[in-house]
Amino acid sequence: MIHERLTVSKTPLSPTLELTIDLMSRSSVTPTDAGCQRLMCDRLAAIGFNIEPLRFEDVDNVWARRGNSGPLICFAGHTDVVPTGPLAQWTSPPFAPEIRDGMLYGRGAADMKGSLAAMVTACERFVARYPDHPGSIAYLITSDEEGPSINGTVKVVEHLEARHEKIDWCLVGEPTSSNLVGDVIKNGRRGSLNGILTVRGVQGHIAYPQLAKNPIHLAAPALAELATIEWDRGNEFFPPTSFQISNIKGGTGATNVIPGELEVVFNFRFSTESTETGLRQRIHELLDRHGLDYSIHWSLSGNPFLTAEGQLVEATQQAIRTVTGIETELSTSGGTSDGRFIAPTGAQVLELGPLNATIHKLNECVALEDLDTLSDIYEQILVNLLID
């Protein structure tokens, strides 16, 4: 599955780089796994992991665990990747990984097959050093993170909760770094609440407005007010909650027809200072005050979560310091991750991965040396939590 990689580099490849290339060579556009999980599981089974495939609908997931006692540290991640975009605009085929000038190019290099490979090789070295280590190590891997995220991590977590299997610490391999590997780790994420607002009016001829009700005109004052509200002021870990309208649709396309309906798609990215219930209530109160005839379809992508302090934060900061010598920044910026499904179980959750500058872009890439650095950090985290 490795595509002529040695034609671009005569330097021997590290185990982490080898595995990254093997994973990237598989076209696993969400929700397809394309054999990535089996590749990882074969490696994990060889060092004593019990492998439990968990398929829900069209999504492949796996829970792999080594050890039966606590505490349990879990590496979490996803084998699926986003679509490539225009192939002609890639400098090399996105699923034929290529090394150029110290960088590995291809879809999934940074998000997040490099992290997955680093997690596996870190554990291989750790188990070789500490075959009788205390506690347990697990992997929760899905192929549904870049998609709708309904048959992936959330279903696995429900499965684990049903049998009272608890994760103490969870390290998600999302690409978090800005300039150097480990300079930023995510210790939480904002919540995401989506709404589709439908405002009803009366369709009519634009020359006879007295016989119609224009929902765009009716909704405009309310939308303007929504755009100026201070929902909260955030806190030391989160910026203030933001409200953004992403789409507006109304009308028939004709210039002489007053529309009968207006559809507005909006999103809240909210801090721990606000709640889903509170935000929904405030929206309804405002729209009712404006006297609109409306309905809203709500969908919650995830509540905010925060791991402000504790053993995982301390172990991760110390590991980064040991391996790289840098001090890391805790951050809750960015979008959502599957950590939102794991944190509510009571687990301490952090995200740590490579640089995120090229994720979801054409010519996605990662620095070769960063993959080995990341693997070393993951290994040191295992040592800090289970041995020291």
Question: Token pair for residue 267?
Answer: 């999103």
* Helical pair 114-129 and 15-24, crossing angle rounded to 10 deg: 140
Active site residue 80: yes
Nearest Cα to Cα of residue 78 among 167, 169, 153: 153
Nearest Cα to Cα of residue 190 among 84, 339, 314: 339
Distance CA 199, CA 284 (A): 12
Per the CB < 8 A criterion, the answer to whether 135 and 386 are in contact is yes
Residue 353 CA to chain centroid, in angstroms? 11
Residue 363: which region, alpha, beta or left (left: phi > 0; alpha: psi -120 to 50)? left
User: Would strands 204-205 and 257-258 be described as parallel, antiparallel, or unpaired?
Assistant: antiparallel
Distance CA 196, CA 298 (A): 7
Of 33, 111, 145, 168, the active-site residue reads 145
User: Would strands 72-78 and 169-172 be described as parallel, antiparallel, or unpaired?
Assistant: parallel
Read out DSSP for 349-388? EEE--SB-TTTTSTT-EEEHHHHHHHHHHHHHHHHHHHT-
User: Would strands 257-258 and 329-331 be described as parallel, antiparallel, or unpaired?
Assistant: unpaired
Of 80, 124, 364, 372, the active-site residue reads 80
Distance CA 76, CA 138 (A): 8
Catalytic center residues: 80, 145
